[in-house]
Amino acid sequence: QKEVEQNSGPLSVPEGAIASLNCTYSDRGSQSFFWYRQYSGKSPELIMFIYSNGDKEDGRFTAQLNKASQYVSLLIRDSQPSDSATYLCAVIPSGGSNYKLTFGKGTLLTVNP
């Protein structure tokens, strides 16, 4: 079974610090990787996607992908209390079903003022 693993947390960081969220996946052939943010009681909201090895930056967010090690991470710089949410890592695995997002269970991030 193709799996996506995340530390459930909670991960607690002070305001202004860098929050580092990690995700590993079992399907070596996976091609597409997504980070979603989910506030309590709300639906997931796309933060970033990454397809290629290396770093991808968007404002305070940086996604890092290492296919050889099968991990993808999300860095949040200058963390704000409004960043407090559950962060979901999602992967589209290899094979014919290249549309089924496989989600991790999420990491709860708390940014303390």
Partner 1 sequence: GAGVSQSPSNKVTEKGKDVELRCDPISGHTALYWYRQSLGQGLEFLIYFQGNSAPDKSGLPSDRFSAERTGGSVSTLTIQRTQQEDSAVYLCASSLQVSGETQYFGPGTRLLVL
How far apart CA 109 and CA 17 sit, in angstroms, is: 12
- Binds partner 1 by CB under 8 A, chosen from 23, 72, 74, 88: 88
* Residue 18 DSSP code: P
**Does residue 71 interact with partner 1 by CB under 8 A?**
no
- Binds partner 1 by CB under 8 A, chosen from 45, 55, 57, 58: 45
Stretch that binds partner 1, among 14-22, 60-68, 75-83, 89-97 (CB under 8 A): 89-97
Name every residue whose Cβ is closer than 8 Å to that of residue 57 and which is 6 or more positions away in sequence: none
**Does residue 51 interact with partner 1 by CB under 8 A?**
yes
**Does residue 34 interact with partner 1 by CB under 8 A?**
yes
**Does residue 47 interact with partner 1 by CB under 8 A?**
no
How far apart CA 11 and CA 9 sit, in angstroms, is: 5
User: Does the CA dihedral 16-91-48-57 come out positive or negative?
Assistant: positive
